[in-house]
């Protein structure tokens, strides 16, 4: 069954412009979301203390696009590890209501930096065992976040002005398949050309120029975890450094990063601030190389669609098994079990599936951006690009980061991305065996629909 957060069925609209009509309007905005207090950081369960300082600011950055008939799209990128369904729905509803936008016209995505704050219940119930003070700080930050995001969108809407859009794809090669290569061996393996496993080194780039031809902003993506740093400072990690480099190169422009299907990809080697800056520079150089060459114009038309599909979980544990887990020596296993027991007490049962968001934007005639929730492994982008052809871009970590999304291969192999990560996300079991086909089928259906096939 397909479900939408607004209504049953598919939400779809498209806009087209003739040669006699005006072109795009585009606007950019931002809002600082760096916590005011040194609260608990998200991303790593091994942390034992809150943040101790700041390396870079954390931002909510928004791009608004308007087609000639007045229909609009809004994308917001957040320097956060993740957002849960509840906070995502609240933020999107605020944007939709203020600007009369349908759900498919709004994208909320995160860079997945592991040096941002805990937000809402995302990873909190099973990974972070917080005291009352830290829980209050998380709650206060979460309550204030929707207003900060809306402030960025307001700025982007106020900034709407005539613009041209163009697109291209570059390459950056620092992402490494972390399931196939031991971290300590990566420098040697890279030097010998022996790195293993699938990767996606593409850097999709959408450039926005004003009526005078000056670069107004750029949207760019890469499929790799933002996990160079694991210290106790707020940091946007390598995506943030890439954005800073780009904004320094193009004064007045806004650089917005989106994470691709990098759930099983790491920037290696890591744990060094110079490496974080270096990877950011490599990514910025890849974007610059695309911008420096002739890019493909993006016609002033778009189509968008959003659906939620029921993604089944495998066999749900019984109460007896959960009680046993609640006594486990592994604190994360025990924390999840206690959460599930509370759920049983209040709801009477555990969920057997999850409402998984799939969204697609077609920009112009050539770019179809597939937008997926969760931490999506690289197999998805490689398969979608192969099956849907040129112009296919794939974004992960969007609208709801509820868990890892393994491919059939990774699910069968197990390990962290395929199985044990579900403990930290608090879901009662691993995904069902059809997870890849269900996601790919919906993404393919949407991509073909917006392309008129």
At 11 the pLDDT is 41
At 59 the three-state DSSP class reads: strand
pLDDT-derived band at 45, boundaries 50, 70, 90: confident
Whether pLDDT at 92 is above 80 = yes
Residues 444 and 355 in one domain: yes
At 126 the pLDDT is 63
What mean pLDDT comes out for the span 437-445? 98
Residues 189 and 280 in one domain: yes
DSSP type of residue 430: P
pLDDT-derived band at 128, boundaries 50, 70, 90: confident
Residues 103 and 33 in one domain: yes
Select from 19, 105, 107 the least CA-distant residue to 68. 19
At 21 the pLDDT is 46
Residues 326 and 375 in one domain: no
Q: Which of 7-16, 157-166, 241-250, 402-411 has the lowest mean pLDDT?
A: 7-16
How would DSSP label each residue in 66-105?
A: E-TTS-EEEEEEESSS---HHHHHHHHHHHHHHHT--GGG
Torsion angles phi and psi, residue 280, rounded to 5: -60, -40
Residues 308 and 321 in one domain: no
Distance of CA 219 to the CA centre of its chain: 13
Total number of domains constituting the chain: 2
At 124 the pLDDT is 64
How would DSSP label each residue in 134-189?
A: HHHHHHHHHHHHHHHHHHHHHHHHHT-EEEEEEEEEEE---EEETTTS-GGGHHHH
Residues 253 and 365 in one domain: yes
Residues 64 and 157 in one domain: yes
What integer best gives the mean pLDDT of the chain?
93
Select from 110, 170, 10 the least CA-distant residue to 395. 110
d(CA 349, CA 347): 6
d(CA 47, CA 352): 31
Torsion sign (Cα): 252, 258, 259, 260: negative
What mean pLDDT comes out for the span 368-395? 97
Residues 266 and 299 in one domain: yes
pLDDT above 90 as % of the chain: 91
Residues 160 and 75 in one domain: yes
Residues 253 and 341 in one domain: no
Give the angle subtended at the CA of 221 by the CAs of 220 and 225, to the nearest 5°: 140
Q: Which of 190-204, 213-227, 331-345 has the lowest mean pLDDT?
A: 331-345
Residues 219 and 257 in one domain: yes
Residues 293 and 158 in one domain: yes
- Full domain range(s) for residue 336: 317-350
At 186 the pLDDT is 97
Asked if 268 and 178 touch (Cβ cutoff 8 Å), the reply is yes
Query: For the chain, what's the residue count?
Result: 453
Q: From 294, 325, 350, give the residue that closes a domain.
A: 350
Q: How far is CA 400 from CA 120, 157, 232, 374, in A?
A: 12, 24, 25, 6
Give the angle subtended at the CA of 121 by the CAs of 443 and 119, to the nearest 5°: 90
Q: How far is CA 102 from CA 86, 87, 157, 164, 371, in A?
A: 18, 18, 16, 24, 16
């Amino acid at each position: 069954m397909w479900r939408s957060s607004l209504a049953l069925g598919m939400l779809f609209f498209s806009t087209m412009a003739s040669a006699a009509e005006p072109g795009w309007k585009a606007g950019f905005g931002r809002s600082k979301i760096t916590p005011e207090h040194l609260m608990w950081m998200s991303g790593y369960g091994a942390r034992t203390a809150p943040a101790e300082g700041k390396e870079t600011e954390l931002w909510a950055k928004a791009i608004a696009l308007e087609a000639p008939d007045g229909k609009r799209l809004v994308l917001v990128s957040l320097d956060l590890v993740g957002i849960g369904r509840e906070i995502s729905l609240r933020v999107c509803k605020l944007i939709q209501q203020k600007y009369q936008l349908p759900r498919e016209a709004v994208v909320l995505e995160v860079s997945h930096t592991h040096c941002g704050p805990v937000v809402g219940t995302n990873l909190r119930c099973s990974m972070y065992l917080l005291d009352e003070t830290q829980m209050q700080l998380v709650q206060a930050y979460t309550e204030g976040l929707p207003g900060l995001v809306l402030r960025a969108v307001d700025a982007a809407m106020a900034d709407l002005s005539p613009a041209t859009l163009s697109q291209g794809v570059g390459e950056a090669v620092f992402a490494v398949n972390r399931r196939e290569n031991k971290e300590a061996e990566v420098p040697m393996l890279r030097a010998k050309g022996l790195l293993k496993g699938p990767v996606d080194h593409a850097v999709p780039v959408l450039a926005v120029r004003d009526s005078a031809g000056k670069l107004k902003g750029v949207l760019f993506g890469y499929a790799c975890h933002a996990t160079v740093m694991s210290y106790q400072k707020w940091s946007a990690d390598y995506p943030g450094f890439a954005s800073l480099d780009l904004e320094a190169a193009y004064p007045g422009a806004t650089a917005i990063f989106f994470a691709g299907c990098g759930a099983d990809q790491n920037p290696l080697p890591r744990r060094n601030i110079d490496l974080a800056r270096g990877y950011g520079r490599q990514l910025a150089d890849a974007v610059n190389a695309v911008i420096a060459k002739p890019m493909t114009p993006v016609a002033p038309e778009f189509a968008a669609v959003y659906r939620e599909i029921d993604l089944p979980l495998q066999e749900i544990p019984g109460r007896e098994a959960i009680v046993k887990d609640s006594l486990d020596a592994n604190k994360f296993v025990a924390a999840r079990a206690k959460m599930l027991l509370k759920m049983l007490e209040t709801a009477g049962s555990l969920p057997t599936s999850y409402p998984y968001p799939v969204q697609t934007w077609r920009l112009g005639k050539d770019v179809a951006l597939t937008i997926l929730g969760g931490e999506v492994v690289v197999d998805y982008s490689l398969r979608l690009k192969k099956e849907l052809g040129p112009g296919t871009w794939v974004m992960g970590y969007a609208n709801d980061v509820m868990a890892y999304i393994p491919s059939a291969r990774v699910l069968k192999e197990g390990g962290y991305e395929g199985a044990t990560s579900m403990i930290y996300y608090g879901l009662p079991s691993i995904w069902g065996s059809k997870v890849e086909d269900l996601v790919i089928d919906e993404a393919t259906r949407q991509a073909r629909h917006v392309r008129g096939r």
